[in-house]
Amino acid sequence: MTSSLVLASASPFRRALLTNAGLVFEARAARVDERALERPLEQSGASPVDVALALAEAKGKDVARHFESALVIGSDQTMSLGARVYHKPRDMAEAAEHLLSLSGKTHSLNSAVVLVRDDEIVWRHVSTAHMTVRPLNRAFIERHLQKVGEKALASVGAYQLEGEGIQLFERIEGDYFTILGLPMLPLLSKLRELGAIDA
């Protein structure tokens, strides 16, 4: 083991993924204004993949300033349908609008992960999952949102795949870790290659 590991995230899901994989790491939330970073990127025509990578890099670099020589894992995810990039719904009405706009269509979850040491990006990767929502009518969406409640506001797509959100889908292409927001298999492979975890 040649380096300590730090996760640049406050996400309990990402922490659990690393813990469940047996990794020993420290976690610290990045202090990054995501909307301020996204706005100019989106205005300049950056793709949803580019936006996810830029956010992951910004988070990794922010935390790396506090951990000299450590290997810092930065990650972020964007959700897109064509050129539209989604953000967490502000209220239940916006959650309903999100789900209605996804009805009968295939959207993408773009999960970026980077490794940063000091101020250098050591490695970057993006995995994409394609999620096909079955045709939904407004009445069903309203019943569904009443049932799941405020949890709908906690995710960009207004759904939790690991819960009742699974009922919204017709087809899913991509691995579970990408959907949760941290592509574990490529990350673990790179960490082994770098000697950061037992190979």
Full-model pTM = 0.90
pLDDT at 110 over 50: yes
Q: Is residue 198 part of a domain?
A: no
* DSSP letter string, 10-26: --HHHHHHHHHTT---E
Bridge pairing between strands 169-173 and 26-27: unpaired
Do residues 15 and 73 make contact, with C-beta atoms less than 8 angstroms apart?
A: no
Residue 76 appears among annotated catalytic residues: yes
The answer to whether position 172 is within a domain reads yes
Number of domains observed in the structure of the chain? 1
Looking at residue 3, its pLDDT comes to 56
- What are 83's two structure tokens? 């050129």
Examine residue 170 and state whether it is found in any structural domain, yes or no: yes
199 domain-assigned: no
Tokens of 116: 């940063």
How far is the C-alpha of 72 from the C-alpha of 119, rounded, in Å? 10
The answer on pLDDT for 2 being more than 60 is no
**Nearest one of 5, 15, 4, 3 to 182, comparing CA atoms:** 15
Residues 107 and 157: beta-carbon distance below 8 Å? yes
Q: How many CB atoms within 10 Å of residue 85? A: 19
Structural domain for 184, as ranges: 5-193
Kindly state whether residue 14 falls inside one of the protein's structural domains.
yes
Residue 88: CATH number of its domain: 3.90.950.10
Does residue 1 carry a pLDDT above 50? no
CB 90 within 8 A of CB 152: no
What is the tens place of the pLDDT at every residue in 123-165? 999 999 999 999 999 999 999 999 999 999 998 999 998 899 9
Please report which residue ranges of 26-118 form alpha helices under DSSP H: 34-43, 48-64, 92-102
- Of the residues 33, 50, 62, 76, which is catalytic? 76
> For the segment 14-71, what is each residue's pLDDT rounded down to a tens digit?
999 999 999 999 999 999 998 899 889 988 989 999 999 999 999 999 999 999 999 9
